[in-house]
Structure 1
Amino acid sequence: MVQLDCIQEVQVSCTWNLSTLATFAPLLGEMSNLQGLRLSHVHVSAFKKQEHDHVVQITSQFRRLGHLRDLHLESPSFLEGCLDQMLRCLKSPLDSLSITKCWLRDSDLTHLSQSPDISQLKSLDLSGVSMTDFRPELLQVLLEKVAATLQDLDLDVCGITDSQLEACLPALSRCSQLRSVSLCGNLLSTAGMEKLLRHTAVLPCLRQERYPAPQESYRPRGVLLEARLAQLRAQLLEILRDLGHPRIIWISLSPCPRCGEDVCHHMEPIVYSCPAPA
């Protein structure tokens, strides 16, 4: 028989109804030494009252997980508008948090930035969380909260616009431990990209950078202008040369013309190497 308090990692990668997850939740609560939890594709019913009860059943078990460090939730639609319920139940600071491919509200991001349990976060993945209609300062406040420890940031396909990016750039430039950042699939112009490159140039640990092709690379209906993209890549290289630090950035098309995915890794990187001393 499995000793539940000996389990350190749990991954549920099949599609469960919220009611099934709620039934499983008491067992989860008995895994007192659990360090990593991964849940994906939890189906939500249309019955709001019953749904709320299930969410309470699930999130309340987090109070019993005092060793939880890594939390990964893919498509957790049941958390929209009630992320605070889960955050209030966390008992220790997280090292890694991933909430992806779902809808969240302004209030959810506000509660996330106010949670004391993200103050030591090393990895944050909010890819696929639509932020287009969020107030620009929300992401800024969140990054300020994790700036001292954050090492990996993934904000792919969040619908982030120039104004939202510009609001959070000062906070991003203070993430001194940042090693990787990915912003593929967002709605950034060449001017926005230049500001991004200049602000991230000060980050000493940054080694992996993945950014979207500027919006000027596309026709209004999203058709790629290959000649224009080549010009913009050359322009971005000039910006890197002006900044004067060796750097490699990857530019992603969205959607990818080869595979149709929202994030494309088929492009050649833009590489700037400092000239060798004479």
Structure 2
Amino acid sequence: MVHSLVSLCAREVVSDHSSSPTWLRWVPRELYGALLEAAFACYRPLAVGELVQRWPERTLRLGGRRKTGQIAPSRLCIQALLLAVVRGLADQRSALQLLDICGLQGDEGGMGDPMGGWSLTVALCTMVIQAKVGAQRAQRKEGERERKRFSALERDRDLKRERGERMRVQGLQDDETCREKTTSKGPTSEKELIKGVRRRMEMERKRGIVVTGLKGSKLETEEKEADCEVLVHVRADLFVNARSWERVRVALSTSGPLKLQCRYLRVEEISVTCIRTLLNQLPHRTLLGIDIRYSSLGVAGLAELLPLLSNFPELNSLRLHYCNLDIRRNNLGQEEVLRDLSRGLANLQELRQLSLTALRLPGQLRVLLSSLPQPLEVLELPYLSLSPADLAYLSCSHHASSLLQLDLSENCLDETTVPSIRRLLSQASSSLQHLSLSGCGLTDSLLGLLLPSLGGCWALKSLALALNPLSMAGLVDLVRMAARMPCLRQLLYPNPLEDYQPGLPNLPSSTQLLEWPLDESSGISMTSNQLSKVLMDSGRSDLFLTCDLLNYDKDSVD
């Protein structure tokens, strides 16, 4: 990675924290971004904190998609960032109004001790709650100072009033020409003095009651301090599970100087009731996507949540993974449930990405997708047990020609479904960029029928065909076809059957291919060398071939 001169100078400046008091007050606002980036890259949490606490711009955006080879920020730097945001609320030098850290999280336990999405969510919610507590404490102190100042002013005013009354009475007594008037009005003046003292005592008593009530009633204090002015809006991706759900709920319902907003919401292993509570508390204008995993929604639960999702006008992504949806022909009331799901999906006007994993919905793809008002750009349907009727509908649907990404992994393909797949690839040939047919049971003969259609997808950037029972001859034909695709940059190919140890069945399943031992001694290296030679003969040096299913990343080519 080549660093610019500004980046190199910024790294040198933040490397010595002891000199920060010297240079920090003279730094122009245009260099704060470069210094903060250098502080994150060099793992300087103290420099991160000082820069963020006096951030000169209204907006601070971090995170986003990381470049290839770029490591996620360390946990200490992120913690320093969040603490500095809270301190900056009371710093007059800070102009920060929007903190956008969407995508800042890294993988849990990765290199450099990054902060993952789950830990970052808990830290964010803690920061929001602590900021309100600090604001309430500051308000109480300010209120106490104001009450003391008001009491002092009242005492001074009363003393001046009493002094004026005494001087007026003394002057009347010394005036010999008005002695009779003074004598007649003396009792009246004494009554006025007594009345003034009583009035002051009553006012002091009432103020004492108010102060005691505010100190003794926590609920009244919270009600009076609930309407805090929002100073900084915090936008982030939230990861919520059963352990962090309560804290996230409290943070979203907290009205303090920090207001938490959500771009993408990912929830795992929580109930429909908890998900509904979160959706009711999220700001409607900021949520772009929701990802629900390992939650036992059931068909009724999903039908209950879909109307709530229609309240988010910018929602464009919906992901449901292992949510225990099971629609079968012998279930009573199935048609009504399907109609509810269809009506709920029809209200998602901006939906462009739909992912359904292992939901057991054979034969129902038409009911689900035909109700969507806009064509999908991303469609992921792994482990869905798609039927020939499902694939036939998909190939003729209004989504086919708009697809940028399609995942049909672990759906069995055979001679009856090949015509539908070919028609689907023909419809999507000008738009499709990422395609996954891993674990679909593609043999040499089936792949040979699909190769012309695959080769016609001229916009394709990545192709995944792992865990398919191909021989070495079929694999060579695949690589030769891939070499003729100008935009293709990544090919995830399956290990050929010759690379496995003896005993593998003639038509193994994807599970058997995944679990059966490979011939580590010579088979894998020979396959790699032979495929590399095919690429060299085709004149392609920019096409990356891999059989590493676990580390394959289709997004790295974008």
Q: TM-score, normalised by structure 1?
A: 0.82
CA distance 1:56–1:5, change in 2 (3 Å): farther
How many residue pairs get aligned? The number is 255
> Deviations 1:69-127 (Å, cap 9, x if unpaired)?
111111121x2111011121111121111111221101101111111123111111122
> In the superposition, relative to structure 1, how do residues 81 and 220 fare at CA in structure 2: closer, same or farther (>3 Å)?
same
Structure 2 residue matching 1:12: 3-state secondary structure: strand
Residue 447 of structure 2 aligns with which residue? Answer: 165
- Counterpart among 392, 417, 429 of residue 135 in structure 1: 417
Residue 231 of structure 1 deviates from its aligned partner by 2.9
Which structure would you say has the larger RCO, counting Cα contacts within 8 Å and 6 or more residues apart? Answer: 1
Deviation at 1:21, TM superposition (A): 1.3
- Contact 2:293 2:323 (8 Å CA) reproduced: no
Tell me what 2:338 maps to: 55
Counterpart contact for 1:34–1:67, Cα < 8 Å: yes
Which of 498, 505, 516 lines up with 1:216 in the alignment? 498
Shift in Å, 1:45? 6.7
User: Quick one: which amino acid aligns to residue 333 of structure 2?
Assistant: Q
Q: Residue 198 of structure 1 aligns with which residue? A: 480
Match of 1:55, SS state, is: helix
Deviates more, 1:159-168 or 1:184-193: 159-168
Contact 2:391 2:417 in 1 (8 A): no
Deviations 1:189-245 (A, max 9, x none): 112112211112122221111110111222232442333333333322332222122
Q: Which amino acid aligns with 1:236?
A: L
Once the 2 structures are TM-superposed, how far is the Cα of residue 170 of structure 1 from its aligned partner? Answer: 1.1
Corresponding residue number in structure 2 for 1:124: 406
CA distance in 2 between counterparts of 1:232 and 1:143 reads 28
Trace 1:57-136 onto structure 2 (pairs within 5 A): 57-77=340-360, 79-132=361-414, 134-136=416-418
Specify the SS of the correspondent of 1:72. strand
Percent sequence identity is: 31
Closer, same or farther in 2 for the Cα pair 1:139/1:248, shift >3 Å?
same
Cα distance 1:265–1:220, how it changes in 2: closer, same or farther (>3 A)? farther
Bigger helix fraction = 2
Equivalent residue letter for 1:120: S
Residues in 2 aligned to 1:199 and 1:70: alpha-carbon distance in whole angstroms? 29
- The residue aligned with 1:250 is 546
C-alpha RMSD over aligned residues: 2.3
Shift of 1:31: 3.7
**Which is greater in Rg?**
2
- Which whole-Å CA distance do the structure 2 matches of 1:196 and 1:72 have between them? 27
Structure 2 contact 400–424 (Cα < 8 Å) conserved: no
Mapping 1:34-53, distance limit 5 Å: 34-43=315-324, 44=326, 48-53=331-336
**One-letter amino acid matched to 1:249:** L
Kindly indicate whether the alpha-carbon contact (under 8 Å) linking 1:38 and 1:72 is maintained by their aligned counterparts in 2: yes
Three-state SS of the structure 2 residue aligned to 1:124 is strand
Consecutive unaligned residues of structure 1, counting only runs of 5 or more, are 253-262, 267-278
Check whether the contact 2:306–2:345 (CA below 8 A) recurs between aligned residues.
no
Instruction: Tell me what 2:525 maps to.
Output: 230
Structure 2, unmatched stretches of 5+, are 1-280, 505-515, 553-558
- Distance between the aligned counterparts of 1:111 and 1:128, measured in 2? 19
- TM-score norm. by structure 2 comes to 0.43
CA contact (8 A) 1:136 1:163 kept: no
Q: Is the 8 A contact 1:59 1:86 kept in 2?
A: yes
Contact 1:17 / 1:45 at 8 angstroms: preserved in 2? no
Mapped contact 1:212–1:251 kept (Cα < 8 A): yes
Whole-angstrom CA distance in 1 between matches of 2:338 and 2:287: 23
CA distance in 2, matches of 1:45, 1:68: 23
Q: Deviation string for 1:9-65 (max 9, x for gaps)?
A: 222123222221122232234444321111111322775233443232112222222
